[in-house]
């Protein structure tokens, strides 16, 4: 699975920079109200990051952005083979970054890193890959 030691994982956790701002319309931004909250790790009780406390205004902005993206056709009218390639690439990137993603999952949820590495990240990659493979078959 991984040759990393407990000390290695602890160092990686200390080195993480976790972005807590909202990602809307291709950029990170604070919540419209400027509020945030602590994301506290159940592993050790430390604050992982400050997370934008989004509200209705932020949700409306995100929905509007998604609607504009859909109507632009950048994805919705993209040829199935190209959408498939994007989904497969996304799955590949999940697998390539499995250790960092598993560490984030462990810190956020408190589950064993071995579970996040063996189940969560590969499962997410498989789901994306399956969906990507289905795109040009329907």
User: pLDDT, tens digit, for every residue of 112-129?
Assistant: 999 999 999 999 999 999
Q: What is the pTM of this model?
A: 0.88
Domain positions in the chain are: 19-72, 78-138
Alpha carbons 53 and 106: distance in angstroms, whole number: 22
Per DSSP, the three-state class of 111 is coil
Whats the size of the chain, residue-wise? 138
The per-residue pLDDT for range 79-113, each reduced to its tens digit, is 999 999 999 999 999 999 999 999 999 999 999 99
Name the band, by pLDDT with cuts 50, 70 and 90, for residue 137.
Answer: confident
């Amino acid at each position: 699975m991984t040759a990393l030691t407990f000390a290695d994982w602890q160092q990686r956790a200390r080195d993480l920079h976790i972005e807590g701002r909202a990602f809307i319309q291709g950029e990170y931004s604070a919540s419209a109200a400027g509020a945030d909250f602590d994301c506290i790790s159940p592993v050790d009780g430390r604050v992982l990051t400050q997370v934008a406390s989004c509200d209705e205004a932020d949700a409306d902005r995100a929905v509007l952005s998604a609607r504009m993206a859909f109507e632009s056709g950048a994805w919705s009218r993209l040829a199935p083979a190209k959408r498939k390639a994007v989904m497969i690439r996304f799955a590949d990137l999940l697998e390539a970054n499995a250790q960092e993603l598993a560490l984030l999952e462990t810190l956020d949820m408190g589950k064993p890193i071995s579970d996040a590495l063996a189940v969560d990240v590969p499962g997410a990659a498989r789901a994306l890959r399956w969906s990507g493979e289905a795109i040009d078959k329907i």
